Amino acid sequence: MVKVSAPGKVYLIGEHAVVYGQPAIIASVNKRTYVSIEPSKKITYRDLGWPDISHTWSVKELFGITEKILNLWDTCNNKQNFSELFNFIKKNGYEGYRASVVGIAMKRLGVKEGFSIIIDSQIPVGAGLGSSASRAVSITKAIAQFFKKKISLERINEIAYLQEKVIHGIPSGGDNSTCCFGGLVWFKKTQPSNEIRFLKKEIPYKLENFVFVYTGEPKKTTGEMVQLVRELKEEYRAERIKKIGEMSYEMLESLKRKDFKRMKEIINQTQKNLTELGASTKEIDKVVKAVQKVSGAAKLCGAGGGGIVLCYHEEKKKLIDLIRNIGYDPWEMDLAVEGVRIERDDN
Ligand code: MEV
């Protein structure tokens, strides 16, 4: 048996803007996806998050589904509108998505044999914690490890980006990069290759006093939220995207200086811009308002439309009490943890 895990992630700043080439600061989190692989003739797939769902595919069937999904992605990409792909995946109960994530890894790694794969994730879907990216990275590494294929982190990340495209259309690549490499990451989508800088030297201390609130599963997927922002009037959107980008640079400087007072202002301004982009909800607004009232800072994380809220206050206990008082369960997570890793290999 081979067992691999990869962390989830949170955006300290820069979600949505990162899709348009602005920088983001993203931290891996200590909620992980565990992927186990054992020998099997056919490909059998189980995800413990959905105990009622299991799939069995022959290799030929799996490659057929993968081909179909990738062709649909191409068609949608030509139109710059992914609704057809998203609708197909939803209608098909996400089987096509699950199959193509496995199929893409197999094709890229040159694997043509069956295996049994079991996914056990601590990361809720749609929370803004990178559940799909964490799955993509850990599935790819687990298949490579099981079939004794040598693979670099860079290559895992490339494959995971392709897998992410199936479910998000054209994501920035920030999620999979952070789940793959781990740590605190400065990410900027650029050509010909993305800027990925690890901030360990610039920010060598442990990030503390961040607490998270889960406001519930969003009604829309990340891909759909990104599409909504894309459909806003260009001038209106561009102005807000630029502001968030500028604040990412400022956030980096304030983190380096340990200027948490300025950092709080930046977080709150970012939330204002994300709200104007349509990514907030009533529940998120309620949490943000309450945290700001006690001189803290809060913002949504990831695509929004629900999911988690990042909250910061110099007095963590005060923050935790406040979150409980407004009826939520405070989540404490370690930030900037290790990326993808092998948990077990007795192959
Ligand atoms: C999702 O975690 C972050 C977004 O910026 C989308 C992306 O970067 O692909 C909303």
- CA–CA distances in Å: residue 326 to residues 52, 137, 297: 34, 36, 16
In this model, does residue 71 exceed pLDDT 90? yes
Does any ligand 1 atom lie closer than 6 A to the CB of residue 15? yes
Measured CA angle at 171 (ends 256, 182), to 5 deg: 45
Atom of ligand 1 lying closest to residue 128 CA: 2
Q: Give the per-residue pLDDT at 187.
A: 98
As a whole number, the mean pLDDT across the chain is: 96
Does any ligand 1 atom lie closer than 6 A to the CB of residue 302? yes
Q: Give the per-residue pLDDT at 223.
A: 87
Does any ligand 1 atom lie closer than 6 A to the CB of residue 189? no
Does any ligand 1 atom lie closer than 6 A to the CB of residue 164? no
Domain limits, the chain: 2-201+336-345, 210-332
CATH topology of domain 210-332: Alpha-Beta Plaits (3.30.70)
Atom of ligand 1 lying closest to residue 19 CA: 8
Chain centroid to CA 303: how far? Answer: 9
- Cα gap 179→153, rounded to integer Å: 11
Does any ligand 1 atom lie closer than 6 A to the CB of residue 171? yes
Average pLDDT over residues 12-36: 98
pLDDT bracket for residue 94 (50, 70, 90)? very high
Rg (CA), the chain: 20
Strand partners, 54: 46
Cα of 134 vs centre of ligand 1, distance in Å, is 13
- Cα gap 201→140, rounded to integer Å: 29
Pairing status of strand 115-121 against strand 43-47: parallel
- Cα gap 226→239, rounded to integer Å: 16
Q: How many CB atoms lie within 10 A of CB 53?
A: 13
Q: Give the per-residue pLDDT at 126.
A: 86
pLDDT bracket for residue 11 (50, 70, 90)? very high
Cα of 225 vs centre of ligand 1, distance in Å, is 9
Q: How many CB atoms lie within 10 A of CB 247?
A: 22
Nearest to 5 by CA among 32, 38, 29, 41: 32
pLDDT digits (tens, 9 = 90+) for 122-155: 999 889 999 999 999 999 999 999 999 999 999 9
pLDDT digits (tens, 9 = 90+) for 234-251: 999 999 999 999 999 999
Q: 2-201+336-345 sits in which CATH class?
A: alpha beta
Nearest to 32 by CA among 152, 138, 127: 138
Query: Contact at 8 Å (CB) between 210 and 227?
Result: no
Residue from 19, 165, 227, 310 to probe ligand 1 pocket by mutation (most atoms less than 8 Å from CB)? 19
Does any ligand 1 atom lie closer than 6 A to the CB of residue 222? yes
Query: Contact at 8 Å (CB) between 14 and 187?
Result: yes
Largest CA distance in the chain: 59
**For residue 294, what is the DSSP state?**
T
- Cα gap 127→133, rounded to integer Å: 12
- Cα gap 62→170, rounded to integer Å: 23
pLDDT digits (tens, 9 = 90+) for 177-213: 999 999 999 999 999 999 999 999 999 999 999 999 9
- Cα gap 58→75, rounded to integer Å: 26
pLDDT digits (tens, 9 = 90+) for 37-65: 999 999 999 999 999 889 999 999 999 99
Q: What is the edge-to-edge ordering of all strands in the sheet holding 308-312?
A: 297-300, 308-312, 210-214, 330-331
- Cα gap 289→280, rounded to integer Å: 12
Cα of 143 vs centre of ligand 1, distance in Å, is 26
Cα of 85 vs centre of ligand 1, distance in Å, is 18
- Cα gap 92→104, rounded to integer Å: 18
Nearest to 8 by CA among 122, 166, 145, 170: 122
